[in-house]
Amino acid sequence: MKIYHNPRCAKSRQTLALLQENGVEPEVVLYLKTIPTVEALKSLVSKLGIRPLQLIRKGEPAWKENFKEKDLSDDEILSAMVAYPKLIERPIVVKGQKAVLGRPPENVLEFI
């Protein structure tokens, strides 16, 4: 199991703690330091069963200032996430070919 984690995010910390409380020690990916590639993001979006736009944190200043009013393709949105990784919604927990957003953190219980 893997978690795309931002230790400064309360939901991300809660999700990681919930996994650990249930005996799971996931591989922790600090995605702001180890930025996922476009291909890795495509894989995550596919595993989540969503479109790239659904993985965007639309309240982030980088989104509002650079992308909000634009009609972007999926590839352009993925490229924006690589350029501005804070745009990536978090946390994302991956198990095999499935992934889930930890919003709310209890979403990850389906993997335990």
CATH code, domain carrying 32:
3.40.30.10
Using the predicted structure, report yes or no on whether residue 30 has a pLDDT greater than 90: yes
pTM greater than 0.75: yes
Q: How many domains, in total, are found in the chain?
A: 1
The pLDDT tens digits of the residues spanning 70-79 come to: 999 999 999 9
Domain range for residue 35? Answer: 2-111
Establish whether 51 is a catalytic residue. no
Say which of 1, 5, 8, 9 is annotated catalytic.
9
Report whether pLDDT(39) > 90.
yes
Q: Which two tokens stand for residue 80?
A: 């924006």
Q: Rounded mean pLDDT of 44-72?
A: 97
pLDDT > 90? residue 112: no
Q: For residue 34, give Cα distances in angstroms to 8, 27, 91, 104, 112.
A: 15, 13, 14, 24, 26
Percent of the chain's residues with pLDDT above 90: 97
